[in-house]
């Protein structure tokens, strides 16, 4: 059974906890492995932090739109969209190169790409940036998940 | 994030618990290290045993504290890294930057080596 949840968050870092809590509940209900759920949660946290800080620039009147969709045995998809002025991911430097190793910032997108299987950036419907994250999930044995939730 | 401050000889030990994440624990960590430096403590050991979550801001703050302490002629080291924090330091190659120890005794001794 497909699980889906949608949220609109005000541009405050405290709200990252609420979104990750929602993701973890959804993962739990879809029997996503704990380890996978943790790292996907980390990717969501980084995407939200970017949307709030760099997208909406902490403007309390702007929102962040979050969509999580889990297809058990197939994939977990997350979309995060801000209401900012757009963002060019090509500007991101490689944090592992020696000259960047001691930089205090610039690791968020690197972590997102590391923990997810596919990451794409596109212009959002509201003028900001939409980032789509995909994590492939292992196949569910026939009947396993349905029995747990029947 | 919760924190406890202990002194072992001239080493300041900061026991950290909970989340070191954007907008909360990251700022607290910087304040704790700044306060230590202002009090003349330049040998700092971060005990990360109780840390459940850290994000790129928390990692960035650790890097910032590391360079600040080094610039003041001191050293900041890490002990009791949870596996997930170890993973995060590995993938960004920061594990090569920090001195990391598995137990506090070895970590404390390293400051006088």
Q: What domains does chain B contain, in order, with CATH numbers? A: 2-110 (3.30.750.24)
Hey, what are A134's tokens?
A: 């995909």
Q: What is the CA radius of gyration of chain B?
A: 13
pTM of full prediction above 0.95: no
Hey, what are B102's tokens?
A: 């598995």
pLDDT digit string (tens) for B83-112? 999 999 999 999 999 999 999 999 999 999
Residue B63 Rama label (left phi>0; alpha psi -120 to 50; beta): alpha
Percent of chain A residues topping a pLDDT of 90? 83
Q: Taking all residues of chain A, what is their mean pLDDT, rounded to a whole number? A: 91
CB < 8 Å from A in window 11-40 of B: 21-24
Residues of B in contact with A106 (CB under 8 A): 60
Measured between CA atoms, the residue of chain A closest to residue B53 is: A42
Hey, what are A10's tokens?
A: 């005000």
φ and ψ of A13, to 5 deg: -60, -30
Min distance B57 CA to chain A CA atoms (Å): 7
Min distance B90 CA to chain A CA atoms (Å): 10
Hey, what are B109's tokens?
A: 């001794």
Average pLDDT over residues A80-92: 83
Average pLDDT over residues A100-121: 95
pLDDT digit string (tens) for B42-92? 999 999 999 999 999 999 999 999 999 999 999 999 999 999 999 999 999
Q: What domains does chain A contain, in order, with CATH numbers? A: 3-149 (3.30.565.10)
Considering only the beta carbons, identify the residue of B22, B24, B93 that sits closest to A101.
Answer: B93
Average pLDDT over residues A32-37: 96
């Amino acid at each position: 059974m497909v699980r889906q949840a949608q949220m609109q968050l005000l541009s405050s870092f405290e709200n990252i906890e609420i979104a990750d809590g929602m993701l973890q509940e959804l993962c739990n209900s879809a029997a996503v492995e704990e380890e996978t759920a943790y790292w996907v949660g980390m990717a969501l946290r980084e995407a939200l932090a970017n949307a709030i800080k760099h997208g909406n620039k902490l403007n309390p009147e702007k929102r962040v739109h979050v969509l999580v969709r889990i297809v058990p045995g197939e994939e977990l998809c997350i979309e995060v969209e801000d209401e900012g002025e757009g963002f060019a991911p090509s500007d991101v430097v490689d944090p592992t190169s020696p000259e960047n190793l001691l930089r205090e910032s610039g690791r968020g997108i690197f972590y997102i790409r590391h923990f997810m299987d596919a990451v794409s950036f596109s212009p959002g419907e509201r003028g900001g940036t939409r980032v789509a994250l995909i994590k492939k999930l292992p196949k569910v044995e026939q009947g396993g998940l349905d029995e747990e939730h029947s | 994030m919760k924190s406890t401050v202990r002194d072992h000889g001239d080493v300041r030990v900061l026991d950290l618990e909970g989340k070191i994440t954007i907008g909360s624990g990251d700022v607290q960590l910087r304040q704790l290290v700044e306060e230590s430096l202002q009090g003349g403590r330049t040998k700092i050991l971060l005990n990360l045993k109780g840390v459940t979550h850290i994000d790129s801001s928390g990692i960035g703050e650790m890097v910032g504290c590391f360079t600040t302490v080094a610039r003041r002629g001191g050293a900041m080291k890490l002990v009791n890294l949870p596996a997930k924090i170890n993973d995060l330091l590995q993938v960004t190659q920061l594990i090569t930057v920090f001195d990391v120890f598995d137990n506090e005794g070895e970590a404390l001794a390293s400051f006088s080596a």
